[in-house]
Amino acid sequence: MLTRDLIEAIHPGPIDDPGVAIELASDEELAASLAEFLRQRPDRGPVWLFAYGSLMWKPELPVIEQRVATVHGWHRRFCMWQWRHRGTRERPNLMLALERGGCCHGVVQRLSSRGLRDQLAQLWKREMIGRGYRARWVQASTPAGPVHAIAFVIRRDSARYAGRLPDETVADYMAGACGYAGSAAEYLLHTWQAAERVGVRDRYLHRMQALVATRLQALGARCTCSDGRQAQQE
């Protein structure tokens, strides 16, 4: 099982970031994208955000209401390269995005109508600046009925799209990746725990945390063995 102690034994802290690993969208590009997205708004009701990854545990926006929700036609997958934040060019990470097919269980978060445009601009700067996601309006099923929600899905035309890599390969990358914001394993741990807290038992997240935990344990064993040999030589 993946734990904080296991992660910190391999990744004790963030690493320096030279700030050149990825080309970022400009403020003008983000503003134009948001304006076009809002023109496609399906109704004038409350604005909901579908959270399936870090937005579940770190929304950074005022959330008025939250409901467990399911979106059909999309599933969560670690399919987006990340060369900054929680990875580097030398040790890239893979981030969650929504990929076509199946369904995804997460939560919808209702945003405050006060200062909504500014909130969405902040959200766009967080999620869209790396040009890996595409924003879509999706219909999410909730216990209180369906709602239209904002969802961030993978851009298959982006250089950041990794495709459908085997879970074992994804776990290899994630176990070794760390950036200025921390490790990839920490992101996975937070996401898995956040899903469990709201009652979302996601088999994919459970499998990935187990695979990454196994690899971190192996890395720890190799480090211990190497230290022992070094001590004997001294």
Distance CA 128, CA 120 (A): 11
Alpha carbons 195 and 89: distance in angstroms, whole number? 29
Q: Compute the distance between CA of residue 212 and CA of residue 191 in angstroms, rounded to an integer.
A: 13
Q: What are the DSSP E strand ranges found in 59-143?
A: 63-82, 93-111, 133-141
- Which of 28, 127, 168, 186 is catalytic? The answer is 127
- 114 closest CA partner among 30, 49, 46: 46
Q: What angle do CA 5, 10, 15 make, to 5 degrees?
A: 115
Is 36 a catalytic site residue?
Answer: no
Active site residues: 127
